[in-house]
Amino acid sequence: MTTEINPQAATTPAAATPAPKNGKRRRALLVVAAVVVLAGLAWLAYYLLVARWHQDTDDAYVQGNVVSIVPQTVGTVVAIDADDGMRVEAGQPLVELDRNDAQVAYDQAVANLAGTVRQVRGLYSSVDAGQADIRARQVAVSQARADVKRREGLVASGAVSREELAHARDMLAAAEAALSASHGQLARSTALVDATTLQKQPQVQAAASQLRQAWLNLQRTSIVAPVSGYVAQRHVQLGQRVQPGATLMTIVPIEQMWVEANFKETQLTKMRIGQPVEVQADLYGGGVTYEGKVASLGMGTGSAFSLLPAQNASGNWIKIVQRVPVRIELDPKQLAEHPLRIGLSMAVDVSIRDQDGRMLAGSAPKDGKPLFSTGAYAKQLADADALITRIIEQNLPDSAHG
């Protein structure tokens, strides 16, 4: 007997057997999920403990005081003593102008002051002479009055004629008129020198002011550096005719530099003055980190102070997150060790954990000292005053010198 085998029945039990589970794949998925969860928890912890207390931006640039060197008098350039990149000190000559015209005006002012002092000395002498003249006139009036009185007593006896008496009276009137004229002349002379010394006499003061101006113009033919720093943007050339107010070059004091960081308006919520800042320059990379602090928060966005402010009232308005400049002060010692240049790109990180500071800067110190000042020009006026005193003394009498 022949047995038939059903191929479909023979294969059914094998096909119905389930495939074994892939344990390695499941474990890998679990590991990935665990890593994602741990990364999320680590990021959350980092944000809560660190990231939310920091605001950073790379839209930051180095700013500083750029001191323009301008002439204070008209002149022709005959010498240039500094070039781009050179270090100069306050009071150091930078540009020399032709001194000939200023020297002539100075010599005239010296002669004018000397002559004025001598003329004023004559005014003081005229007062003394006027007083002596009045005393002489008073004697003459007394004599004329006595002659009239004596002749009046002799007219009755006929010893003196009436014509002689009339002549004596005329002499008395003339003497009194001369005395009155002398009093007027003395009053005019006294008014010119009364209640003042020769040095404070108005004519002498006017001549001294002219000499002071001539001296300053002569000194200003040598243009000096008002501050110490490095020369940049030299435009002046030899033979150039310069006018007051024209920029010849600029000086950049490297110790007076700061960083202007442009933060988004949404980053300023917890930013306060005095908060610590870490700054890195693209010039030095990550090898140098400057320690600074927030000095002030800008009073307007960059677009508000631009040459052409945005007109947001138009119908095609699109909201754009604005940026506000924040001034960052840097450590002067670090600036000296790692100098910066105006306009360099910086990366700024502000720690906003400390919320005790103010959002707006306070008023300037009330000690009377300016924030920035220079003493490069102070000595010029002091030298002029010393010169004036010397010229006045040289034109006084020898007794006054002693």
pLDDT digits (tens, 9 = 90+) for 68-120: 999 999 999 999 999 999 999 999 999 999 999 999 999 999 999 999 888 88
Contact 293, 277 (CB under 8 A): yes
CB-based contacts of 16: which residues, under 8 Å, 6+ apart?
A: none
Does 51 score more than 90 pLDDT?
A: no
Does 330 score more than 60 pLDDT?
A: yes
pLDDT band at 192 (very low <50, low <70, confident <90, very high): low
Contact 113, 204 (CB under 8 A): yes
Does 5 score more than 70 pLDDT?
A: no
Q: What are the pLDDT digits (tens) for 207-238?
A: 999 999 999 999 999 999 999 999 999 999 99
pLDDT of residue 36: 92
pLDDT of residue 149: 77
Alpha-carbon distance of 235 to 229, in angstroms, equals: 17
pLDDT of residue 7: 52
- Per-residue three-class SS string for 97-114: ECCHHHHHHHHHHHHHHH
pLDDT of residue 397: 79
CA angle 223, 224, 229 (to 5 degrees): 135
Bridge partner residues of 88 (DSSP): 229
pLDDT of residue 378: 78
Chain-centroid distance, C-alpha 367 = 17
Contact 197, 377 (CB under 8 A): no
- pTM (2 d.p.): 0.71
Q: What are the pLDDT digits (tens) for 292-314?
A: 999 999 988 888 877 777 777 77
pLDDT band at 174 (very low <50, low <70, confident <90, very high): confident
CATH class for domain 70-95+224-247? mainly beta
Q: Helix %, strand %, coil % for the chain, to 5?
A: 45, 20, 35
Q: Which whole number is the average pLDDT over 137-143? A: 80
Chain-centroid distance, C-alpha 207 = 30
Question: Where do we find the tokens 């990180």?
Answer: 349
Bridge partner residues of 57 (DSSP): 348
pLDDT band at 401 (very low <50, low <70, confident <90, very high): very low
pLDDT of residue 402: 38
Does 142 score more than 50 pLDDT?
A: yes
Contact 181, 65 (CB under 8 A): no
Q: What are the pLDDT digits (tens) for 21-47?
A: 577 888 888 888 989 998 988 888 877
Residue percentage of the chain with pLDDT more than 70: 88
Two structure tokens written together for 257 = 């530099």
CA angle 43, 262, 63 (to 5 degrees): 130
Alpha helices by DSSP H, 85-233? 100-155, 162-193, 202-219
For 313, what's the count of Cα atoms within 13 Å in the CB-facing half-sphere? 1
pLDDT of residue 195: 59
Name which of 103-107, 195-199, 292-296, 389-393 the model is least confident about.
Answer: 195-199
Q: At what angle do helices 100-155 and 378-394 cross, to 10 degrees?
A: 40
Of 17 and 138, more confident: 138
